[in-house]
A and B are shown apart, each in its own frame.
Chain A
Amino acid sequence: MTESTTPLIRLVNISRVYRTETLETHALSNINLEIYRGEYVTIEGPSGSGKSTLLTLLGLLDVPTSGEYELAGVPVAKIDAEERARLRNREIGFVFQAFNLIPEMTVAENVGVPLLYRAGVTAAEQKAAVAAALERVGMTARAEHRPSQLSGGQQQRVAVARAIVGKPSLILADEPTGNLDQENGDQIMDLLDELHRDGATLVTVTHNPRYAERAERRFWMLDGRLEERAARAA
């Protein structure tokens, strides 16, 4: 479901090396990747293959050791941490395996967190956006609950609502079903499918081939190298 000829994500010869005094680990080696707006991409691979490292690079949570990365046409290597944060806030929504909700906040407050860091958003706008996101994931009734009062599936729905509340260009999901049972996992993946159908660009990391099959493009990672498998027939 390609919508544009300009890639939303463009990686050229990206490498990420972790160095200690005695050891050099090549987490990513010469990754080349282009993802277009509206695409649904999944990355599979064994543990330690570099999937999550790639996702954190895509999410601007880390910087490559070498290579070029452009997000929405912006070369991210040339921008500072503040600008990366601003870009991350506007363009990227994260869904984590461990949900990463803040326990002291209510569901609504958790969902509204990204908007706290976006300039010019009024309280009313924030409230409306949070309500819409919660409705989108079916969690309106739980808005005033604390995360500890929710099941794992519900917590991940809240995490998804938080990821979409700022209407980002890209949603990155790192093993979003890893901490869920099959039923809840299916529901979360159905939710992500719906978001994709509504136009979201989606990149997920998963171990589960059944969920990987839902993507339009499937990539395989091994020892820090990325290889695209056959794309699913549209």
Chain B
Amino acid sequence: MPAAILARLVLLEARRSALPWLGAAGIAAALVLAAFLSGVALTEGRELRLAVVAALLRACAVFLVAAQVAASVQREIDDRGLEQMLSLPLPRAVHYLGRLGGFAACGALLALAFAAPLALWAAPGPLALWTASLALECMLVAATALFFSMGLAQIVGAISATLALYLLGRSIAAIQAIAGGPLGEESLAGRLAGTLIDALAFVLPRLDLVTRSDWLLYGVPAARDAALALAGLAGYALLVTAAGLFDFYRRSP
């Protein structure tokens, strides 16, 4: 199956790159931070370690996936490997989805590895949900990074755009709350800005609802809430993949 072969090639490239070492360095840094925090906390030492280490590993996983996808695609474009691949008698969807499958698998493996140190302090149920959520989040970031890398063909631009979208996704709810708060400006410009922010929120993923450290500290949310949050991630990943495929089909070889 050609898509599976492409996915395997992506995974092989990731294994031979610095990604495993960077992942291990991220885990080591998190454990050192945990040891430091346990020494300075007056109370809630377990909660402090868990919340901060989970937040750090989450950010680390997302950055590594975005950088890996952007660097891999850029190298393929620079080496004319992509053009060579496109000359093969395969539909473009197979090229695109095969690569995306490989990057998504990379993200899922990274999520599994990053969940391992949290098992020291977290209960199994919440940790399983957090890990599944991080794996989905990494898949979404891989899809977004692939979309921007193919479209922009610039490594810095692709990483910046991916991370900007990601950070907006994580903070848009707080931005909306500030804009809609009692201190919000009542002028026309203020109302216009509020409407603009609300409109922007419609086309962004609600990343503040997923991979939450609250789950690790205070237990899993209601099944319906968790399912809705994860479905939102999967839905947005589908949207970005469809947009990426649309762009890829229109691309000149």
Q: Do these two chains really belong together in a complex?
A: no
Residues of A bordering B, CB below 8 Å:
none
